[in-house]
Amino acid sequence: MAGVTITVRKNGPYIVSGTVEVRDADGNVYPAKETVALCRCGASTNKPFCDRSHAKVGFADQGTLRAPEKPAAVAAAGRLQIRVRPNGPLMLTGPLTVIGTNGRSAFSETTFLCRCGASHNKPYCDGAHMRIGFVG
């Protein structure tokens, strides 16, 4: 499998490109797809997937990364698992590259992405889900 990328969309979802395994908080595995949109506003009624609720609730985030100017290396081949933490972030384990709207990218083997929409360190989780009582 080629490296998996997650592109952060301005005012919208995470677009995951590459075959991944998505597990919900109960451990159920969703069928693998080559491209999937994951909610990052916290309002989707189909969590962890995007249902375009971000447009209805006025979710606003530029989708930029505070990564180095140089693009990160392309993620190596390997399996990426996306696990939904109960009432918390998306936990991603395995090689991936996160790409922001500003063209910057970051490579990681373990990443926690915000899915409540309240993080002050978007797209990454800063624990805001606990502060706002996020359920999902």
Rg (CA), the chain: 14
**pLDDT tens digits, residue range 79-130?**
789 999 999 999 999 888 899 999 898 888 899 999 999 999 999 999 999 9
| CATH domain 4-130 topology | Ribosomal Protein L9; domain 1 (3.40.5)
**C-beta of residue 102 within 8 angstroms of C-beta of residue 10:** no
- pTM summary value: 0.89
Tokens describing residue 130 = 């606990």
User: Between 11 and 95, where is the model more confident?
Assistant: 11
DSSP secondary structure string for all residues of 25-42: TT-PEEPP-SEEEE--SS
107 CB neighbour count, 10 Å cutoff: 18
Would you kindly state where each structural domain of the chain is located, as residue ranges? Answer: 4-130
What residues are paired with 105 via a beta bridge? Answer: 99
